[in-house]
A and B are shown apart, each in its own frame.
Chain A
Amino acid sequence: MSMAEGPEGGGSEDRPRPHHNDRAGARARILGKVRDAITKRRREPHPGHFGGWRDQAPEDPVEQFIRLFKAAGGEVCRFDLRESASEWVRNFIGDYATVSLGTIARREAQHGARAVRIEHTDPADAEVGVSMAYGAVAETGSLIMIPQDGRRAQLLPPVHVVWVEERTVFPMLIDAMAALAKELPSAVGLHSGPSKSADIGQILVKGVHGPGRLIAVLVDDKGVQW
């Protein structure tokens, strides 16, 4: 079928333009054209789930996450004890004058069992942001960031520290999607390394718009949750 003899017998430009809020009309015309186009063809089956097929033997998910996250420029600090991880975070952010805490971290800092006094700065003015990840993905080396914790703290400060529990490392992205799909928030961000660009002369620069440093604090504590 050629353009000249389109499904409705003439290009859309031949019809008078609908007024700009003719939503129902536009919807019906698009769906009608789609149906006209595919009606003569077979409805093909879906091939099934993506299997992430690889030639190599499967890797330990935590090791794979660390390897890929580092390869993309991320930094990883791994702790066996929640307490030592907390202490490391406190020391790390102590070097900065302004700190922005995600909602979950802020609640912990103010009311948690190990409450500490940290002054919270708006993410737009903070030098470092601290967030909690929903989990991580081994297959892609990604941290899963959810909006309940505050998106601005995840994006605006030049340094981003992310707390992630090892038990929440999903082997494959599709596993993480399946878990998220049960109660999807308004927006999920997968962060797999510091912000980067090669748009200037194909030379890699970091920290273009998002954080130039991304640090995963990976905690493998079987004890109480933070």
Chain B
Amino acid sequence: MSFTGPGRYREESAKMLRDKPEMRHSVTQATRTFDDHRTHAFGQVDGERWRDWARDVKTHLLSNLDIYLEQAEESLERNGAHVHWAETGADALAILEKIVEDNDVKRVVKAKSMLSEELAINAHLESLGVSVFETDLGEYIIQLLGEPPSHIVGPAIHRSLDDCRRLFHEHFGTPLDAEPDALAAAARIALRQEFLAADLGISGGNFLAADTGTVALIENEGNIRLSTSLPRIHVAFVGIEKLVPTLGDVAGFVQLTTRSATGQPIGNYVSLIQGPRREDEPDGPEEVHVVLVDNGRTNLLADDTAWEALRCVRCGACLNICPVYRQTGGHAYGWPYSGPIGAIIAPGLLGLEKAMPLPHASSLCGACVDVCPVRIPIPEILVHWRERAVEEGLVPLAETVGLKAYTAAAERPVVFGAAGAALRYAPLELGGRALPILSGWMQERSAPKPSPKSFMQLWKEGLE
């Protein structure tokens, strides 16, 4: 099973809720845990200041991206790494293919990387006859299942312990009541052999410091350190928006990202990779390649509203808090980046038409913007794409009138709050007449009775 594409979002999310109710339970449980940990971790620091700082560094970076890209290239080359530039996904795959051919690569170990999902690297390597093993435990589980990841940080959160027990029973003969420790041990043994045998390791890059040419990678299992240390060649795919000006900035961003993703002060392992092993180092890769990938990112950068989405550090916090994501999980979104962040970057990376209807896969409740560590105005960008979709004739006209009014209100929090309050307290006897603002799609339904409490009040109190 691979991604279905965003175009099937409505059907896929309905199917998910109808056919896989247990999946919703797993996703809700996991995302609530992530979010509880994040809340706790940000309670220990001056979170508002951290977020302002991170927003400002990324804004500075993006407004000077040309300079920093050139500096990063120069630094990496000084370190002895090879730098490649990939304008499209096809270019990125061609660069990898050349490295594979030049070095007669047969076996690849892979660290978890969302960009590698975006580029569909595994399928390409397999088409070249190369064996590729995902080494992150969650990614390994879904690779065995033949499924794509459903969450940026926890790719297998849609699968329960019992699902894993059945899977490992089939593949490794572990008992059907095996504890997670025993399952992890089976995976460790299987993958240890692959780490030792692999010719090439593939990773993404959480950050790339321009001043030192450092690819920074955050993880908990040690599989990224192994994938980037043991094979003779390491290839890192890095989106051009992943740069930060300095290694000192990396010190802030690794902490911000893990606090936001899992609530840890820092990931168990952070790799800071400059280039190939040196003479005074007994081991490590002989070749390091860094592939700088555009693949639509410059489209986002050129957009006067949506460019802010490029600040994203892929922590998954907006997925974890999102009432829509929590119900459907990630697969319904139909491409690697799900949840609110996926909905706002899809139009840039895929084109607006292909991204539809993801900008509509949101209630615009704004919970995501409250947790975003780099303060991306996600609802504003969602509305922006909805408006663009209207202008380009990708949405039925009837849905557009209410949207304009919504935008006008939502851009002014006081009005927005007042409008909600007005609906909650207004007499509901409308005599079957639809609220004027909702005409069009209101004709076949009756107006629901507004809740005595606002959604945001209930959500904060723990409503599911």
A residues near B (Cβ < 8 Å) are: 1-4, 6-7, 11-13, 17-18, 20-21, 23, 26-27, 29-31, 33-38, 41-47, 49-56, 68, 72, 103, 124, 139-142, 147-148, 150-152, 154-156, 172-174, 176-178, 180-181, 184-203, 205-211
Q: How far is the CA of A45 from the CA of B59 in the complex (A)?
A: 8
Question: How many residue pairs between the two chains, A and B, have CB atoms under 8 Å in the bound complex?
Answer: 303
Closest A residue, CB atoms, query B294 = A30
- B252 in contact with A37 (CB, 8 Å): no
Which residues of chain B are within 8 angstroms of A54 by Cβ–Cβ distance? 44-46
Q: Does B369 contact A (CB under 8 A)?
A: no
Closest-CB distance, A178 to chain B (whole angstroms): 7
- Residue pair B53, A50 in contact (C-beta under 8 Å): yes
Cα separation A50 to B256 with both chains bound (whole Å): 10
Closest chain-B Cβ to A189's Cβ sits at a distance in Å of 6
- Structural contact, B191 and A209, CB atoms closer than 8 A: yes
Among candidates B29, B267, B272, residue contacting A187 with C-beta atoms closer than 8 Å: B272
Docked Cα-Cα span, A13 to B88, in Å, equals 9
**B409: chain A residues within 8 A (beta carbon):** none
CA gap between A41 and B304 in the complex, in Å: 9
Q: Taking CB as reference atom, which chain B residue is nearest A20? A: B94
A3 near B347: Cβ-Cβ < 8 Å = yes
Whether B86 lies near A197 (C-beta < 8 A) is no
Q: Are A44 and B59 in contact (CB under 8 A)?
A: yes
Task: Please name 11 further chain A to chain B contacts, defined as beta carbons within 8 Å, in addition to the given A151-B281, A187-B277, A210-B226, sorted by A numbering.
Answer: A23-B84, A34-B66, A52-B45, A54-B46, A103-B282, A181-B211, A181-B247, A184-B272, A200-B180, A203-B180, A207-B188
Is A201 a contact partner of B164 (Cβ separation < 8 A)? yes
* 20 intermolecular pairs with C-beta atoms under 8 Å apart: A3-B299, A7-B302, A26-B86, A27-B85, A34-B69, A36-B302, A37-B298, A45-B60, A103-B282, A152-B283, A155-B225, A184-B274, A185-B274, A186-B284, A187-B271, A190-B266, A190-B270, A192-B266, A200-B156, A210-B226
Quick check: B225 and A139 within 8 Å, CB to CB?
no
Closest A-chain residue to B29, C-beta based? Answer: A202
Assembled-state Cα–Cα distance A47/B302 (Å): 23
Asked whether, in the complex, the Cβ of A189 is within 8 Å of the Cβ of B268, the reply is no
Given contacts A189-B270, A203-B161, A33 and B251 within 8 Å (CB-CB): no
Question: Measured between C-beta atoms, what is the minimum distance from B447 to chain A in Å?
Answer: 35
Q: Mark B55-93, 1 if CB is under 8 A from A, else 0.
A: 011011011111001100100000110001111101100
Query: How many chain B residues touch the partner (CB < 8 A)?
Result: 120
* Residues of chain B contacted by A3 (CB below 8 angstroms): 299, 347-348, 351-352
**Is A43 within 8 A of B63, CB to CB?**
yes
- Pick from A49, A50, A174 the residue with the most CB of B within 10 Å: A50
Hey, which chain B residues are within 8 Å of A43, CB to CB?
60, 63-64
**Given contacts A38-B65, A177-B247, are A155 and B229 in contact (CB under 8 A)?**
yes
Cβ A185 vs Cβ B69 within 8 A: no
A148 to B157, CA, bound (A): 38
Contact pick for B268, options A18, A27, A44, A72, CB 8 Å = A72
Contact of B229 among A72, A140, A174, A187 (CB under 8 A): A187
B30 at the binding interface (Cβ < 8 Å):
yes
Q: Which of A27, A37, A55 lies at the interface centre, i.e. has the most chain B CB atoms within 10 A of its CB?
A: A37
Whole-angstrom CA separation of A170 from B394 in the bound complex: 55
Known: A7-B302, A35-B66, A208-B137. A53 touches B154 (CB 8 A): no
Q: For A23, what are the chain B residues with a Cβ–Cβ distance below 8 Å?
A: 84-85
